[in-house]
Amino acid sequence: MTLITLSPLRQLGAATTLALAIGLPALAQAAEPAPALELPTQKGTVSLEDLKGKVVLLDFWASWCGPCRQSFPWMNDMQAKYGDQGFEVVAVNLDQDENAAATFLDQIPANFTVAYDAEGKTPEAYEVMGMPSAYLIDRNGNIHSQHIGFHNDRKESYEEDIRSLLSAAQN
């Protein structure tokens, strides 16, 4: 018998994928530090280290992703609703062609931080398994939960997770 050992982040992804496949919400695991991130934006750079103390929704997306078109208006709403409470959306574009991302953003503007990783190093560190993939990171820089895809019928649950983390005390 062969035993396959998965990293904790891969375990989280595998458990979440299984949960989604059988119709359960994304799973929360024991807190694990989010991998470091420092990426270019249109206004400079964004770093998770600089965002410590905030609740961060880190979203990986691409211009060709249909569910991403549905998630952007919701992320705009969440940023507007909770931004003054210490919530920050950071959407990492993975398109190799920056014109494709620009066209998407012309059609569906983002009122939150958009970072760019055409080389795909960040999704590799997060072991992203589908588009879009979102990671909810607590004020201490730990991954609280993740979800793959965007499901309109789960928006309430996603928002409840955000509210819960915003109301939690920082350690």
Q: What CA–CA distance (Å, rounded) separates 51 from 153?
A: 29
Domains and their CATH numbers in the chain: 29-166 (3.40.30.10)
The pLDDT of residue 170 is: 59
Q: Is 147 helix (H, G, I), strand (E, B) or coil?
A: strand
Here the tokens at position 24 are 């359960």
Name the nearest CA neighbour of 53 among 85, 9, 90, 92.
Answer: 85
Q: What pLDDT is attached to residue 17?
A: 42
Count Cβ atoms below 10 Å from residue 17 Cβ, excluding itself. 17
- Mean pLDDT, the chain cut into blocks of 10 residues (171 residues total): 37 42 46 93 95 97 96 98 98 95 97 95 94 96 95 94 88 56
pTM, to two decimals: 0.82
Residues 140/170, Cβ–Cβ less than 8 Å: yes
